[in-house]
Amino acid sequence: MEKTIFQYSSSGRTGVALPLLDVPETPVTARFGRKETIGLPQVTEGQAMRHFVRLSTMNFNIEEGLYPLGSCTMKYNPRLHEFLARIEGLAVVHPLSDDSTVQGTLELMYKLGESLCEITGFEAVTLQPAAGAQGEFTGLMLIKKWQDERGQEHRNEVLMPDSAHGTNPATSTLAGLKVVSVRSDEHGRVDVEDLRSKAGENTCAFMLTNPNTLGIFESSIDEITKIIHDAGGLNYMDGANMNAMLGIARPGDMGFDVCHLNLHKTFSTPHGGGGPGSGAVCCVEMLKEYLPPSTVEKTDEGYKLLGGTGNTIGRLLAFHGNVGVLYRAYAYVRTLGPKGLREVSEVALINANYMKARLKPYYDVPNDDGPCMHEFVASGAAMAEKGVKTLDIAKRLLDYGFHAPTIYFPQIVKEALMIEPTETESLESIDSFIDAMIAIAEEIDTKPHLVTDAPVNTPVLRLDEVKAVKDLCLVEPVEHQ
């Protein structure tokens, strides 16, 4: 346990030496002046470093071990990228600089956009969205605008499978659209007949993650996207699982009209403990005029940052997107090239299928009717009947030195464990994870308390989430000023 930074504070300490004021003072107008202390800590740089380093040691991270979070694509984050994004000429650039003085960044953004279009099979791109969910919002607003422009304002329904990520319905609500849930069939794919019966004159868009959240490729994708097009809707692909398809299949070739990419998943940019990400959106030519401002165009006079057409859906952020994240994604594409990108997906597929094959004797894998893509979903339902929940299995994995898979999602699988190894894990590390999973399965039969009491080898024991809500404490009490 580490004290809070406020508990290290002592009056008069500071951690940064500022320049001396070398201009005359202008008194702060009394009626505006801040009256009380702020309550920030007072520590030296050394004390601050010790505190934050101690905190850091309580974090699991990708450089420590395998991080099999399904749909999160926790692959290795190249160290080179951290250096590149901090090069002074790239980091110290004001976002309102004249185009002629930021040609380097604009060229990179342009080239990254071109590459993402090639990878997805689309014609236009915006790099502005800050994260996947903002990309989804962008995509739905593009579609809505297109519908409105064609006199189809009444189309207010977004269809999506019952296995959709939570952001999909939440984004639909934000866009002012109604969610219509489509059933999954017995194999975990979109129930095409249910989709057909629900697509109609109110269909604005269809949102689908492909491969879907069970890690299964939607084999009827041609038929699915055609049903929506015939009904007058457009198809949106949630690109969370793009790591399965680089150079293998492209959303633009499957009848999708728009998709977002999570650069912080597929393109290796670090998750940062929750962000920043980047939710670049690629789309077909007919949606280009609705894109947000801050797209980049190549002209005879160099690269130009565009302000958006009169038909734009508008700005999503004050400036041009998480540019520092774009720097990293560009470096990734440059390092790997076309063959290297395809290899990423091929090995991601092999790793996931290998894990599935080896774990199947111990864990139930529902919806298993052939190869999975880059991830698969196991079920702890049989273990739950023995009194050990999926949550317990997840916590026990922490004791074995691994992060847990994504749990209880998708909601259509009972006690779900969604496992994605990614291509950057070696056979050795995958095997040791499998060994841990098998050992836990055995513990459930022989010493279940080891699992239900887990974790015990972590900085803290299992935390009381109910108490956190009941005795809400979101800030350090003021006595620690």
| Residues 233-262 interacting with another protein (rule: CB under 8 A) | 246-250, 253-254, 262
Return the closest-CA partner of residue 121 out of 249, 278, 298. 249
Q: Does 416 bind another protein (CB under 8 A)?
A: no
Q: Does 108 bind another protein (CB under 8 A)?
A: yes
CA 282 – CA 292 distance, rounded (Å): 12
Residue closer to another protein (CB basis): 278 or 379: 278
The stretch near another protein (CB under 8 A) out of 116-124, 198-206, 381-389, 436-444 is: 116-124
Residue closer to another protein (CB basis): 318 or 385: 318
Residue type, 79: R
Q: Does 306 bind another protein (CB under 8 A)?
A: no
Residue closer to another protein (CB basis): 262 or 379: 262
Q: Which of 70, 124, 134, 410 binds another protein (CB under 8 A)?
A: 134
Residue type, 433: F
Residue entry with tokens 């650069």: 263
Identify the three-state secondary structure at position 146: helix
Taking the C-alpha atoms of 429, 434, 437 and 439 in order, what is their torsion angle to the nearest 10 degrees? -100
Q: Which of 19, 151, 310, 361 binds another protein (CB under 8 A)?
A: 19
Structure token pair of residue 470: 């009941």
How many C-beta atoms lie closer than 10 Å to residue 368's C-beta? 17
Site for another protein in 155-184 (CB under 8 A): 165-167, 169-177, 179
Residue closer to another protein (CB basis): 385 or 428: 428
Which residues fall within 8 angstroms of residue 100, CB to CB, at 6 or more apart?
A: 302
DSSP strands (E only) in 308-443 = 376-379, 406-407, 416-419
Q: Pattern of binders to another protein over 195-214, x per CB under 8 A?
A: --------------------
Residue type, 233: G
Q: Which of 64, 149, 193, 201 binds another protein (CB under 8 A)?
A: 64
What distances in angstroms separate CA 341 from CA 5, 175, 176, 344, one per listed residue? 43, 33, 37, 5
Q: Is 118 exposed, middle or buried (0-12, 13-18, 19+ CB in 10 A)?
A: middle
Q: Which of 40, 286, 435, 445 binds another protein (CB under 8 A)?
A: 40
Q: Which of 264, 282, 390, 417 binds another protein (CB under 8 A)?
A: 264
Residue closer to another protein (CB basis): 367 or 379: 367
Q: Which of 70, 136, 296, 359 binds another protein (CB under 8 A)?
A: 136
Q: Which of 66, 70, 74, 147 binds another protein (CB under 8 A)?
A: 74
Q: Which of 97, 197, 309, 311 binds another protein (CB under 8 A)?
A: 97
Residues in the chain: 481
Q: Which of 66, 70, 113, 119 binds another protein (CB under 8 A)?
A: 119
Q: Does 69 bind another protein (CB under 8 A)?
A: yes
Q: Which of 66, 124, 125, 133 binds another protein (CB under 8 A)?
A: 133
What distances in angstroms separate CA 35 from CA 29, 226, 479, one per listed residue? 12, 64, 18
How many C-beta atoms lie closer than 10 Å to residue 111's C-beta? 16
Q: Does 343 bind another protein (CB under 8 A)?
A: yes
Q: Pattern of binders to another protein over 350-389, x per CB under 8 A?
A: xx-xx-xxx-----------xx-x----------------
Q: Which of 282, 341, 365, 383 binds another protein (CB under 8 A)?
A: 341
Return the closest-CA partner of residue 154 out of 207, 206, 201. 201
Total residues at the site for another protein (CB under 8 A)?
202
Q: Which of 299, 446, 474, 479 binds another protein (CB under 8 A)?
A: 474
Classify the phi-psi angles of 410: left when phi > 0, otherwise alpha if psi is within -120 to 50, otherwise beta: beta
Identify whether 448 is preceded by a cis peptide bond (ω within 30 of 0).
Answer: no
Q: Does 423 bind another protein (CB under 8 A)?
A: yes
Q: Which of 270, 388, 412, 437 binds another protein (CB under 8 A)?
A: 270
Site for another protein in 281-300 (CB under 8 A): 292
Q: Which of 271, 290, 363, 378 binds another protein (CB under 8 A)?
A: 271
- CB 222, min distance to another protein, A: 6
Residue closer to another protein (CB basis): 377 or 394: 394
- CB 72, min distance to another protein, A: 6
Identify the three-state secondary structure at position 103: helix
Q: Is 279 exposed, middle or buried (0-12, 13-18, 19+ CB in 10 A)?
A: buried
Q: Does 103 bind another protein (CB under 8 A)?
A: yes
Which residues fall within 8 angstroms of residue 410, CB to CB, at 6 or more apart?
A: 163, 213, 214, 377, 416, 418
161, β-bridge pairs: 182
The stretch near another protein (CB under 8 A) out of 196-204, 378-386, 398-406, 439-447 is: 398-406
Identify the three-state secondary structure at position 207: strand
